[in-house]
Structure 1
Amino acid sequence: MDLYMVLLAIFGAIVLLTAWTPMLLEELPLSLPIVCIAIGMALASSPLHTVLAVNPLESREATERLTEFVVIVSLMGAGLKLHRPPGFRRWGATWRLLGISMPLTIAAITLIGWGFLGLGLPAALLLGAALAPTDPVLASDVQVGPPRSGADDETRFALTSEAGLNDGLAFPFVYLAIAMAGVQATGEPFLADWLRHDVVWKLSVGALAGWLGGRAVGWLMFRLPDRARISRTGDGFVALGITGLVYGGTELLDGYGFLAVFVAGVSVRAMERRHAYHEKLHEFAEQIERLLMMALLVFFGAAIAEGSIFGALDWRVVVASLAILFLVRPLSGWIGLIGHPAPAEARAATAFFGIRGLGSFYYLAYALGEAEFERPGALWVTVCCVVLLSIVLHGTTVTPVMRRLDGRRARNPARATPPPATRAASRARRDETAP
C-alpha cells in the first residue's frame, strides 16, 4: 500500500469534512472538535496508527510550531470579527475577565498543581499559565459571528475579545515559570528583569506593533486611491499575509506576537468597519483555522486511542481537571463579572465557556523547550486531560445553552445588552449595531 496516497486520501476527506460537518452539526449537541477526535480514535486502529498516533511530548517542536500557527490564524480571525470599537465601558466584560478572572484562574490552578498534584512551584505555575486562557480556536462556537452578521451579543463578544487578548497576556506568566525554573539552577535574581522585559517591554511592543501594523495595512486596503486599493482584489488570503507579517515582525522586535496579531485584526477592522472585504478576509482565515484544527485534533484523537498520552493518567489528574473546568474557571469568571450589567444568565454562560484547547498545548511545548521542568509527563497528561474534557463538556453544551440564551434575548430584547450609562456609550451602541 502506498502510504503517501493513503495520507493524501485522508487529507482530502478531512478537507471535505471541514466544509460539510459544521452544517450537519448545527442542530446537534456536538461540535466539530468532538468529531475530529472521534475520527482520530477510529484511525488509530488502522494501518496508519504509527503515523497518526504521535505523542506531543515526543514531538515537542512539531507540536509547538503547528499549534502556534493555528492560534495566530485564529487570533487574526477573531480580531476581524469584532465590530465594537475598543473602550473602557464598551469592553467592560473583557477587562474584567482579563484583569480579575484570569489572574484568579492562574493562581487557583497553580495551587492545585502544587498542593494536589505535587508539582514544584515553577511547573505548577506553568500549568496555570497554560490552562488559564480561553482558546480562540476551539471557542469559535461561542464567539461573535462573521463581519456584518449581527451576531454580537454580550456573551459572544466577551468570550471573543477575551480569547483574543488573553493568549498574549498569559505569556508573562509562562516566562515567569521559565525564569523560576532557571533560577533553581543558577540562583540569580529574576523578578526585576521579568517585570521590565517580559511584562512591560514585550506587552508594549506587542500592542504597539499590532496597532501600527493593522493601521498600515488598513490604509493600504481602504485609503489608497480606488485603483490601487488592495481591497479591490477581493483576495481573502491577504489575511494570512497580515498574520505572518505582523507576528513575525513583532517577534523579531522581541514583543508578544499573539497580542500583536489580534490587535492588528481589530485595527484593520477599525479602518473601515462596514466594508464587505472584511468578510472575505475573515472567511479565509476561518477556513484555514478550521482545516488545521481538524488535522491536529485527528492526530490528538489517534494518540489518545493509541495510549501514549494517557498512559500515566491517575485519579488525581482527573479530579484536578474536573475541578479546573467545573470550579476554577466558572467561579473566577463569575467573580470577575460581579457588578457587570449583563443579565445573570449571560454572565453565567460567559464564566462557564472558558474553553481550553490548542493554545494550552503551545504554551506547554514552548516552555518545555526553554527550561527544564520537573515531571513534564505529568504536565502533558494534565493539559491533555483538561483539553479533552473541555472539548467534550463544552462541545455538547454549547448548542443548547446558546440557543436558550438567544431565545431569551429574542423574547426580552431590553435585557440583551446592558443599558448605556453615558451619551458616548449610546453612540458606541449605535455604531456596534450598524450594518
Structure 2
Amino acid sequence: MFHTVRQIIVPKAPDLDVTAYTDPMFTSVVGQFLLENYKLWLLGIGLVVLLVAWLPLLLKKLPLSLPIIFVGLGMAMFTFTPLRQFSPHPVESPILIEKATEFIVIISLMGAGLKISRPLSWSGWKITVRLLVVVMPLTIALIAVSGSWILGLPLASALLLGACLAPTDPVLASDVQIEKPDGEDSDEARFALTSEAGLNDALAFPFVYLALAASAAGLGWSTLGVWAWQDVVWRLGVGALVGTAGGWLLGQIIYRLPQDTRLSRTGDGFIAVGATLAIYALAEFAHGYGFLAVFIAGLILRRSADGDDFNSELHDFADETERLVMMVLLVLFGGMLTGGELVSNIGWTNVLVAGLVLLVIRPVIGYLALIDIDRPPLERFVIAFFGIRGLGSVYYLAFGLNHGDFDGQHILWETLGLIVLGSILLHGLTVTPVMRLLNRRIGKPVD
C-alpha cells in the first residue's frame, strides 16, 4: 500500500522593502538606513556594550585608555563605512550635540558627588578651593587672551573659548578620580581632581553667560551688574539650595524611613538616574545651575547613607550608565572630528593654542597655585597636569553657540575639537604609568 507524499511548499519571505513603510520614523533617509541595517546595529551595540565591560580589565596595566579606543573607532567608522554620510557636524547639529553631552555631564556629576565622603572643612578642601578660585579664572583669562591674539577671535568668542576649556571634565577623568564611594579620600590627588571636576562645571557657567552678554551687548558696567546678580549670585545660590534640599529630601526618603518602608531595600540603583534628572530639572526650572545642584545632591546623599551599602549601588548604576553613554558619545565625537571636518581644516594657530592649553596654561598655573601646599611635588604635578578636557567642554561650546551670536564658530569648534582629542591622547597615554608611580610614592598598593 502506497502513500502519496505531498510536497509542502513554504512560501519565501519577501525581501524587506523599506520604502513601503509608512511609519514617519522610517521614511527619512536616516530612518531607512537604520531599518535596512537593523541587525548590524544590534551587533554593533552589543559589541560596544561588551567592550565597555571588558576593555577596562585588559587596559588596566597598559598606557592606553577606553576613550582613545572609542574615539579612534568613531573616526574609522565615519571615514571608511557608509556611516560617513551621517557624520555628526557641530555646526549643522548643535542642538543634538548640546543635549547629548548635557545628559552625560549631569549623570557624571551625580556619580562624582556619591563618591566623596570627606566632610566639608577648610583643611580638607583647601586644594579644591585653590583650584576653583585661583586656577580656573586665570585659566579662562589666559585661554581667552590666546584665542584673541593667536586665533584672532573677537572678545566674546575668545571668552567663550576660555570658559569652555577651563573646567576639568567629570566624564573622561575617571582614571584620576576616586574610584568607589568607599575609596580612600586621603589620596589628595584623586580627591582634588574629583571635587574640582564636580564643582568647576557649574562655576564655569557664569563665564559662559558673561561671553553671551558680551556677544549681545558688550561689556559695560550695567551689563556686568546684571551678570553678577543674575548669573553669579542667583543661579549659583539657587543651584546650591535645590541641590541641598533635594539631596536631603531624597536621603530621608531612601535611608531614614522606617526599616520596612525604606526605598534602599528595593535595591534599584536606577534611583540615582531618576534623582539626577529630577533635581537637575528643578534647578533649571528655578533658573539655577543644574550642574551644581546634582553634584551637591550627590554629596548630601552620600552623607545620608552613613555606611549603607545602597550608596554603592546608586553609584555603580550611575557609573555604568555614564560609561555606556560616554562610549557612544565618544564614537560620535570621533565621527565629528573626521566626518564633521574638524581635523582637516586645522592650522598651526590651532595647534599652538592647543599646546598652550594642555602643556603650559593649566599645568603651570595649577602647579604654581599649589606650590605652598604641603604635599609631595609629584602629587602637586598630577593635580596640575591632569586637568582633562572632554565632553563637558563640547557641551559648553554647543550651549554658548545655541544661545548667542558668536563670530568664528568654525575656528571655535576646530580648536576645541583638537584640544579635546589632544587631551584624550595625552592624558590617556600617561595616566596609567603616572598614577602607578604616584601610588608607589605615597605608599598605596599598586595593581
TM-score normalised per structure 2: 0.89
Map of 1:8 onto structure 2: 42
Counterparts of 1:247-396 in structure 2, within 5 Å, are 247-306=280-339, 308-396=341-429
Looking at CA atoms only, which structure, 1 or 2, has the larger radius of gyration?
2
Report Cα offsets for 1:153-193 as digits up to 9, x if no partner: 10000000000000000000000000000005x98941111
Q: CA deviation at 1:13?
A: 1.4
Mapping 1:24-423, distance limit 5 Å: 24-44=58-78, 45-51=80-86, 53-150=87-184, 152-184=186-218, 189-306=222-339, 308-410=341-443
- Mapped partners of 2:184, 2:103: distance in 1: 28
Gap change, CA 1:298 and 1:157, over 3 Å in 2: same
Gaps in structure 2 of 5+ consecutive residues = 1-32
Aligned residue type for 1:179: A
Contact 1:41/1:305 (CA < 8 Å) preserved in 2? yes
Q: How far 1:292 moved relative to its partner?
A: 0.8
Are the aligned partners of 1:145 and 1:151 in contact in 2 as well (CA < 8 Å)?
no
- Residues 318 and 385 of structure 1 are in contact (CA less than 8 Å); yes or no, is this contact kept in structure 2? yes
Cα distance change on mapping 1:270 and 1:151 into 2, 3 Å: closer
* C-alpha contact (below 8 Å) 1:207/1:263 kept by paired residues: yes
1:311 positional shift: 3.1
Counterpart CA distance in 2 for 1:191 and 1:305 is 39
Q: Which residue identity does 1:126 align to in structure 2? A: L
Q: Determine helix, strand or coil for the equivalent of 1:310.
A: coil
Distance 1:340 1:104 in 2: 19
Residues 256 and 262, structure 2, Cα contact 8 Å, conserved in 1: yes
Quote the Cα distance in structure 1 between the aligned partners of 2:58 and 2:186: 23
What is the CA deviation profile of residues 264-290 of structure 1, one whole-angstrom value per residue up to 9, with x for unaligned ones?
000100113321111101111111111
> What displacement does 1:8 show?
2.6
Q: 1:212 to 1:59 in 2, by over 3 A?
A: same
CA distance in 2, matches of 1:347, 1:8: 45
CA pair 171-319 structure 1, distance change in 2 beyond 3 A:
same
1:335 Cα deviation from its structure 2 partner: 2.2
**Is the alpha carbon distance of 1:81 and 1:411 closer, same or farther for their aligned partners in structure 2, counting shifts above 3 Å?**
closer
The aligned amino acid for 1:120 is P
Per-residue deviation, 1:151:
6.3
CA–CA separation in structure 2 for the residues paired with 1:63 and 1:12: 23
Deviations 1:240-274 (A, max 9, x none): 01100110000000000000000000010011332
Letter in 2 for 1:17: L
Kindly, what percent of the aligned residue pairs are identical?
Answer: 50
Paired positions, count: 410
- The letter of the residue matching 1:338 is I
Name the CA distance, whole Å, in 1 between partners of 2:255 and 2:220: 53
* Maintained 8 Å contact 2:142/2:361: yes
Normalised TM-score (structure 1): 0.92
- How much has 1:310 moved relative to structure 2? 2.0
Where does structure 1 lack aligned partners over 5 or more consecutive residues? Answer: 413-435
Report if the CA contact (8 A) 1:101-1:335 is conserved.
Answer: no
Q: Distance in 2 between matches of 1:411 and 1:137?
A: 24
Q: Alpha-carbon deviation of 1:307?
A: 5.6
Deviation at 1:306, TM superposition (A): 3.0
Q: CA 1:41–1:66 in 2, change beyond 3 Å: closer, same or farther?
A: same
Counterpart code for 1:104: L
SS at match of 1:359: helix
**Match for 1:403: what amino acid?**
R
Check whether the contact 2:68–2:424 (CA below 8 A) recurs between aligned residues: yes
**How many angstroms does 1:291 deviate by?**
0.6
The question of whether the paired residues in 1 share the 8 Å contact of 2:251 and 2:304 is answered with yes
Which digits, 9 at most, give the CA deviation of each residue in 1:358-415, with x for residues without a partner? 0001000001111100011100011101000000000000000000000111189xxx
Alpha-carbon distance in 2 for matches of 1:245, 1:392: 35
1:5 Cα offset (Å): 2.7
Q: What does residue 416 of structure 1 align with?
A: none
Q: CA separation of 1:138/1:152 partners in 2, compared to 1, >3 Å: closer, same or farther?
A: farther
Matched letter for residue 124 of structure 2: R
CA distance in 1, matches of 2:228, 2:184: 40
In 2, Cα distance between the equivalents of 1:102 and 1:369? Answer: 24
RMSD: 1.6
Deviation, 1:42, is: 2.2
